[in-house]
Amino acid sequence: MGRHALPGQPPVPLTLRKSARARRISLRISQLDGRVTLTYPQGVPESEALSFAKTKEDWIREHLEARPDAVDIGFGESIPIEGVVRRIVPAEGRRILLDRDNVSVPAGGEARRLARFLKELARDRLIGACDDYAAMLGRSYSSLTMRDTRSRWGSCSSHGGLMFSWRLILAPSEVLHYVAAHEVAHLAEMNHSPAFWAQVERIFGPYSEPRRWLRENGTDLHRYRFDAGT
């Protein structure tokens, strides 16, 4: 995998990937970090792939400019918590406090402190939701873990282990609950068959709206930058 760039202001970094499975040259722009990946077949010269990217420069720059700006967590910034946008302000005491308009965070490492608080809040909400849905389903899960995943919001292993992105706590509550129900339903149906979706609807109810919200707005939840490793 090589790195190049389209010249211009600003230059656009390109990640080149030669693939034995590729049948044509293709471009992909990550909605999470804006990385531009140029994939091309084994028999195609690198220069030809770069020429292809040059012909798509206007398209690439247009898509990059349309991406939402990243938000570095700190005092004065705003962040959605359970779908409610709150301003980050200094706390008078040593605890993080939520009210309708603000999240008060003690000074000093506030991004790291807030990330830890959000992870704990997400775990609390997800355990409660998964316990309820598992009881309705008549199945039990073996574990529940939290990660900062980039490619999926949740998963269910064949051994009943549930995994969720803690950033779901930034989404509206019904979206978090939908994802919890989705993964719990996999305890009964390890697929996405009509039988699976019937289980989701049985334990959660109509799910089209939260599913659509996540598809249309989920990328924005990755805008918020905390300390490394969150």
DSSP-assigned beta bridge partners for residue 80: 85
Report if residue 21 sits inside a domain: yes
Q: Residue 197 is part of a domain; what is its CATH number?
A: 3.30.2010.10
Please indicate, yes or no, whether residues 77 and 34 belong to a single structural domain of this protein. Answer: no
Is the model's pLDDT at 69 over the cut of 80?
no
Q: Across the chain, what does the average pLDDT equal?
A: 92
Percent above pLDDT 70 for the chain: 96
Is the model's pLDDT at 168 over the cut of 80?
yes
pLDDT of residue 70: 82
Burial grade of 50 (CB within 10 A; 0-12, 13-18, 19 or more): middle
Is the model's pLDDT at 53 over the cut of 50?
yes
Is the model's pLDDT at 123 over the cut of 70?
yes
Report if residue 189 sits inside a domain: yes
Domain around 94: 72-225
Mean pLDDT of the 179-204 span: 98
Report if residue 207 sits inside a domain: yes
CB 108 within 8 A of CB 151: no
Please indicate, yes or no, whether residues 102 and 78 belong to a single structural domain of this protein. Answer: yes
Write b or e for each residue in 83-93: b if 16 or more Cβ atoms lie within 10 A of its Cβ, otherwise e: eeebebbebee
Mean pLDDT of the 209-220 span: 94
CB 158 within 8 A of CB 143: no
pLDDT of residue 157: 97
Report the distance separating Cα 230 and Cα 113, nearest Å.
Answer: 11
pLDDT of residue 228: 44
Please indicate, yes or no, whether residues 62 and 87 belong to a single structural domain of this protein. Answer: no
Is the model's pLDDT at 66 over the cut of 90?
no
Report if residue 230 sits inside a domain: no
Please indicate, yes or no, whether residues 45 and 81 belong to a single structural domain of this protein. Answer: no
The structural domain count of the chain equals 2
DSSP-assigned beta bridge partners for residue 61: none
